């Protein structure tokens, strides 16, 4: 009987291992996760034809969607630009979904009635015509004022902020304000890059996570800067980076944060395919928490990460 039990156990374990190995890592770079009505929606860089969306109920097992558009939430036919659809983020505001993304190194915004799309850009032109800008992320403050953080190409890549009009699409150019640029030794591997900003607010303090170094570098990493005035001075943590080569991951970065179904902060980021290969970059998820040090709440990233998988490829 013991031999029969042991044989059955080994057989079941082997099936489990084979099943797990048949799953694929989630090939999404610059990932963003939206939680809407109990379902997680992930968007990212990957398709040459637009922006893909995948879904999950548990953050580990992800499904490609059958939406009649090859899983694309945004198709290039509905957008400015023909290529380079990067770094999408989706927000549900006043009954409408807004997707902020880059196309041909220009910021764009498209809207939809569903997180699955189709997202459509009403006026097919960049948010800042005539200037290269990428990595646009929305932040709405407690008083309802909408802000857009993004990268400009006027000092390598550096991060700026501006107010938006109530339509959440139009930048108030007179409010353009610089936030951070390359200024710490760990950021100077190659080239001059501060990018992929994401901002949250806790107890009156604004926390900005960002990435530094080229995405092609193994030393791409995530840092944090804080401010008490969103249009004031941002101060980087002296102990940056918060995440760089955790475990066996290389080239980690371009992160965004979200709250899970339990109300806990999470961070999603991408990493290289392997130590020697960059593409396809894959999506990973970790926990974010705040630790009180010297009277200040310090944002920290758990180095233990989830490796999501696609289960219906």
**Residue positions annotated with a catalytic role:** 30, 195
Q: How many CA atoms lie within 13 A of 61 on its CB side?
A: 7
Within a 10 A sphere around the Cβ of 102, how many other Cβ atoms?
A: 25
Is the distance from CB of 21 to CB of 29 less than 8 angstroms?
Answer: no
What is the enclosing helix (H) or strand (E) of 180? strand 177-180
Is the distance from CB of 94 to CB of 113 less than 8 angstroms?
Answer: no
Is the CA virtual torsion 122, 128, 130, 136 positive or negative?
negative
Computed over its alpha carbons, how large is the radius of gyration of the chain?
20
Place of tokens 């100077």: 188
Instruction: Dig out the tokens for 141 from the structure.
Output: 């403050």
Nearest CA to 225 out of 189, 183, 188, 285 is that of 183
């Amino acid at each position: 009987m013991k031999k029969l039990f042991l044989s059955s156990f080994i057989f079941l374990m082997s099936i489990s291992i084979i099943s797990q190995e048949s799953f694929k890592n989630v090939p999404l770079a610059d990932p963003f996760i939206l939680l809407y009505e109990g379902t997680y929606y992930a968007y990212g860089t990957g398709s040459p034809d637009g922006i893909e969306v995948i879904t999950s109920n548990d953050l580990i097992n992800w499904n490609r969607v059958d939406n009649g558009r090859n899983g694309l939430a945004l198709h290039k036919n509905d957008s400015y630009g023909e290529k380079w659809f990067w770094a999408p983020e989706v927000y549900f505001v006043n009954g409408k979904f807004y997707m902020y993304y880059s196309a041909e190194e220009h910021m764009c915004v498209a809207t939809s009635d569903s997180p699955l799309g189709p997202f459509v850009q009403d006026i097919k032109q960049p948010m800042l015509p005539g200037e290269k800008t990428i990595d646009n992320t929305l932040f709405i403050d407690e008083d309802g004022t909408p802000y857009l953080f993004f990268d400009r190409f006027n000092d390598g890549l550096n991060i700026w902020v501006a107010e938006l009009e109530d339509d959440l699409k139009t930048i108030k150019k007179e409010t353009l304000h610089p936030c951070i640029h390359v200024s710490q030794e760990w950021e100077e591997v190659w080239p001059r890059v501060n990018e992929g900003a994401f901002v949250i607010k806790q107890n009156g303090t604004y926390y900005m996570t960002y990435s530094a170094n080229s995405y092609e570098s193994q030393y791409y990493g995530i840092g944090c800067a804080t401010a008490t005035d969103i249009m004031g001075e941002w101060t980087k943590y002296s102990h940056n980076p918060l995440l760089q080569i955790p475990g066996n991951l290389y080239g980690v970065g371009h992160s965004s944060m979200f709250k899970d179904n339990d109300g806990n902060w999470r961070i999603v980021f991408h990493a290289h395919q392997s130590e020697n290969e960059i593409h396809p970059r894959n999506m990973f998820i970790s926990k974010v928490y705040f630790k009180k040090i010297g009277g200040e709440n310090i944002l920290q990233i758990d180095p233990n990460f989830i490796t999501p998988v696609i289960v219906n490829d």
